[in-house]
Amino acid sequence: MEKTKELKNIESQFKTFQILNEEGEVVNKKAMPKLSDEELKELMTRMVYTRIWDQRAISLNRQGRLGFYAPVAGQEASMLGSQFALEKQDWILPGYRDIPQIVYHGVSLEQAFLWSRGHYQGGQMPEGVNVLMPQIIIGAQIIQNAGVAMGLKRKNKDAVAITYTGDGGASQGDFYEGINFAGAFNVPAIFVVQNNRFAISVPVEKQSAAETIAQKAVAAGIHGVQVDGMDILAVYAATKEARERGLAGNGPTLIETLTYRYGPHTMAGDDPTRYRTSDLDDEWEKKDPIVRFRKFLEGKNLWSEEEENKVVEQAKEDIKAAIKKADSAPKQKVTDLIGFMGEELPYNLKEQMEEYKEKESK
């Protein structure tokens, strides 16, 4: 089917926003965010730390010491660049892969590991940390994000609500309902679609006839932008602008980050070699966000191999300590789970509670 002139005009508005190219060179000086040298180094520190954390988490999963885990290598710039643009009072509604964002927003590594294990303590977010428990239902967090943003607006809070999903999540009905509601009520919401090209195994080209996911914002009457998700500065700048737009009362933003996950969708048996080619993997490895940003910082004499090695060793120590603490958490009981079902339990759960209390006492 040939595209109409109007559709071609819409698609032409969504050119990929980029600041650093693959060689770490600044190609968009006007868009360069105002970050101090220390802030630039902190961004690199977080990406390196997260890459090591990811490697260790995969290893721990294979050892049977972690439960559910969705690898993040390749998506560090998309995740961490967006979170870095937030303030403490902002709310994050993560999907199941978005653990790095909530850890840098105040959740401990220990708790992240407990969540992976399905332990109830993993879902008990610390007081003062504005994070919801990672959502397993694909796309459900989109609607929830619109609701949280509505609450922030009604209470005149100086904060935004941000949520994340993948390209597969953008094919869900909840995605359209959420961005439509947010646009209709002009709420301070940010929707980040991390387009890693494969919704588990389905290529993005087979999920939608649209040239970009960002252009879906047009139908909802909100702002949309497509960003090079391997460029941490571009992701940071786009998110910061979206936050400022939301706080100024100018509505929500849909951000599509073009990124890539180097590993499987999750560690639950997915084999990416069945649906991805080695040539495609090689193409995206050349765009690696850490390699790109390292080149940029080295060109400014802000990074060295010695500094990176320190980050690597610190990450290994922290992860070792966190998993040890997670191991010492109290063994989860059925009565724990029943007790959290509601403030006042209905009669059937009360009966089950008494039944399991008796069993656990033996």
Length of the chain: 362
pTM, full prediction: 0.95
Q: Give the mean pLDDT of 153-169.
A: 98
pLDDT of 362 over the 70 cut: yes
Using pLDDT thresholds of 50, 70 and 90, give the confidence band for residue 1. Answer: low
Nearest to 44 by CA among 281, 226, 225, 310: 310
Which residue spans of the chain are classified as CATH 3.40.50.970?
A: 5-330
Using pLDDT thresholds of 50, 70 and 90, give the confidence band for residue 264. Answer: very high
Taking all residues of the chain, what is their mean pLDDT, rounded to a whole number?
A: 95
Q: Of these residues, 261, 276, 292, 294, which one is catalytic? A: 261
CATH (residue range 5-330)? 3.40.50.970
Please say whether the beta carbons of 210 and 228 come within 8 A: no
Residue with tokens 């609450």: 151
Q: Give the mean pLDDT of 324-337.
A: 93
Between 139 and 7, the more confident residue is: 139
Q: Of these residues, 265, 276, 292, 294, which one is catalytic? A: 265
Using pLDDT thresholds of 50, 70 and 90, give the confidence band for residue 2. Answer: low
> What tokens appear for 229 in the block?
């998700």
Residue 219 to residue 359: CA distance in whole angstroms: 56
Residue 334 to residue 271: CA distance in whole angstroms: 34
Residues above pLDDT 70, as percent of the chain: 97
Q: Of these residues, 120, 176, 275, 356, which one is catalytic? A: 275
In this structure, which long-range contacts are made by residues 102-108, counting pairs with CB atoms below 8 Å and at least 24 apart in sequence? 102/129, 102/131, 102/134, 104/46, 104/80, 105/129, 105/130, 105/131, 106/131, 107/131, 108/322
> Amino acid identity, residue 219?
A
Residue 91 to residue 191: CA distance in whole angstroms: 12
Q: Quick one: which H or E segment has residue 151?
A: helix 140-154
72-130: per-residue pLDDT in tens? 999 999 999 999 999 999 999 999 999 999 999 999 999 999 999 999 999 999 999 99
Asked if 120 is an active-site residue, the reply is no
Can you say whether the dihedral through the CA atoms of 302, 306, 310, 313 is positive or negative? positive
Asked if 265 is an active-site residue, the reply is yes
Interior/surface letters 222-233, b for 16+ CB within 10 angstroms, e for the rest: bbbbbbbbbbbb
Residue 272 to residue 282: CA distance in whole angstroms: 14
Residue 142 to residue 320: CA distance in whole angstroms: 34
> What tokens appear for 107 in the block?
């959740």
What is the crossing angle of helices 173-184 and 140-154, to 10°? 20
Asked if 261 is an active-site residue, the reply is yes
22-32: per-residue pLDDT in tens? 999 999 999 99
Strand segments (E) across the chain = 91-93, 161-166, 189-195, 198-199, 202-203, 223-228, 253-258
